[in-house]
Chains A and B, each alone.
Chain A
């Protein structure tokens, strides 16, 4: 994805203006207007704004060094979240209304041992991977995924 770090934020186009108006992020499925909750809950700061195929991606970096990305549809709805860093962030906040379904599925038997967990349901995919000091994962709602994106665009 193209990345616009802080210094060149103003160079970003229309979607960036939306980001500047509300410099924080929402939970999966949530609205951009309520976006401060994740940043506050994760004790993080918005560190970058970028776009992937024209869709806005906010980056929050937590105090403990976890990078969280939240992906926005053109009308400001979060269709995907991802994370990478030494810890697993608070997915209850990040998954919002989707969390209950995730929680129910997470305790079932799974392939992947202690290193990989994948939950796929209609309307929700969650992937959690990695090990101490190096976790990463992502979650998205396939129904909200813009047509010209694939899950491989969620990094």
Chain B
């Protein structure tokens, strides 16, 4: 969207018709602001997490980043510190863009092979807006003082594997194999599931997932992939603090801020700094990881609390969408204080209040900002199945994501809570 900033002058003329029009939305006059949460201080299970403009530039906002250290398995010297790795509670597994890795480390990450053959295992990671293609390798991944040794990760866009199977690229034909197209140097998927695919890929060949790709140039073939070989949740491989994560972000000014620094905390109820406290646990589908949101009288059964979604995405016909060519193109341009409910594990409905700002005004007032707590947008043009509480909802909250099968704070995952 920032690509449209060159059109700022003409956009200014449109602001009057964009609704709201105040500077930075509805910070005053709405619900009283809750007290700031206390972000976890430094600790062995705490990684600094920052929402900032990442390596792909202004096109991507509201993305939280951490720094990882990736080493060849067992090595303490063949390592690389990788900044600007996206924190994603909506996917599972560590994926690094190949061009970010130095040659000596890339060549030292052991390739996974199909069974006892010498055929490399290559993965197609599907996202709703595209796919990422690259080999499955083994690596030691460290963050804060936690370490996942010898876990399967994906190297995205490895030039050794350029033949992309048709059934990988055709579901959503948008290749995201570079820093510029992916939006980060890599991603650390710390979601609800222990593996990215799970039992479906272990019990049968699922198109668009795992492949064996012969090095002689023959066509890649879909394979079954045992769960212990799949690209997996790094946190489950930690020695401690391995049952989930907390995403903690500070309050951000209504109109946006250049950066927002918080913490990615490992473990739930395992240390003095990661207790569940009085957080509400939401009813989370054990297979899909979805929660159920009710908004404006409509139930959205495929909803999510997702740090990998960069805005509050939902449908509300009373909110106008910023016009094409304006800075907020495609996002909401009407400022509003709104409220939904989320079904809790206890069966009650928890109120979830949020504020939407005028995206064009917010972006034009602070064109280099990366953190926008009131950024919202529609999903399609009419009713959808989902209410997507993306990253804006995480500001001034501690959002818990507990991994499937793991007991976390007395309740077994998968669940989300805050």
* Chain A interface residues toward B at CB < 8 A: 43, 63-65, 84, 86-92, 99, 102-103, 106-107, 109-118, 120, 125, 127-137, 150-152, 155
Q: Return chain A residues, CB-CB under 8 Å to B129.
A: 106, 110, 112-117, 128
Chain B: interface residue count, which band?
A: 35 or more
Is the pair A111, B385 in contact by a Cβ cutoff of 8 Å? Answer: no
Name the prevailing secondary structure of the B interface residues: loop
A-B contact pairs, 20 of them (CB 8 A): A65-B200, A86-B198, A86-B288, A87-B209, A91-B172, A106-B129, A106-B130, A111-B331, A113-B63, A113-B309, A113-B311, A116-B129, A117-B130, A117-B172, A129-B384, A132-B92, A132-B126, A134-B288, A135-B128, A137-B128
User: Contact at B207–A102, with CB atoms within 8 Å?
Assistant: no
In this complex, what residue of B is CB-closest to A63? B204
Determine whether the beta carbon of B183 is less than 8 Å from that of A113: yes
Q: Chain B, 377-404, contact with A by CB distance < 8 Å: what is the 0/1 string?
A: 1011111111010100000000000000
Complex contact A111–B329 (CB within 8 A): yes
Residue interface bits B39-59, CB-to-A below 8 A is 1, else 0: 000000000000000000001
Nearest CB on A from B204, distance (A) = 6
CA distance A117 to B207 in the complex (A): 21
Contact indicator B377/A133 (Cβ below 8 Å): no
Q: Quick check: is B171 within 8 A (CB to CB) of the other chain?
A: yes
Q: Are A117 and B128 in contact (CB under 8 A)?
A: yes
Q: Does B133 contact A (CB under 8 A)?
A: no
Q: Assess the B302–A64 pair: CB atoms within 8 A.
A: no
Give Cα distance in the complex from A127 to B388, angstroms: 15
Closest to B288 in A: A134
Assess whether B90 is in contact with A90, with CB atoms less than 8 Å apart: no
> B234 at the A/B interface (Cβ < 8 Å)?
no
Distance in Å: Cβ of A41 to nearest Cβ of chain B: 9
* B-side contacts of A91, CB under 8 Å: 170-172
B191 within 8 A of A: yes
Say yes or no: A130-B128 contact (C-beta < 8 A), given A64-B200, A84-B385, A109-B3: yes
**With contact pairs A132-B126, A134-B302 given, residues A115 and B390 touching in the complex (Cβ less than 8 Å):** yes
Tell me the complex Cα distance, A152–B381, Å.
Answer: 9
B242 at the interface (CB under 8 A from A): no
| Interface pair A132/B329, CB less than 8 Å apart | no
A96 to chain B, nearest CB (A): 12
| A111–B330 CB distance below 8 A | yes
Which of A103, A111, A116, A151 interacts with B128 by CB under 8 Å?
A116
| Cα-based distance from A118 to B172 in the complex (angstroms) | 11
B100 contacts the other chain (CB 8 A): no
B200 with A129: CB separation less than 8 A: no
Contact B386 A130 (CB under 8 A): yes
Candidates B60, B172, B384; contact of A106 at CB < 8 Å: B172
The closest CB in chain B to the CB of A95 belongs to B170
Q: Which residues 116-155 of B sit at the A interface, judged by CB distance below 8 A?
A: 126-130
Instruction: Tell me the chain B residues, 294-314 only, with Cβ under 8 Å from chain A.
Output: 302, 304, 306, 308-311, 313
Q: How far is the CA of A114 from the CA of B193 in the complex (A)?
A: 18
**Option from B88, B198, B384, B388 in Cβ contact (under 8 Å) with A133:** B198
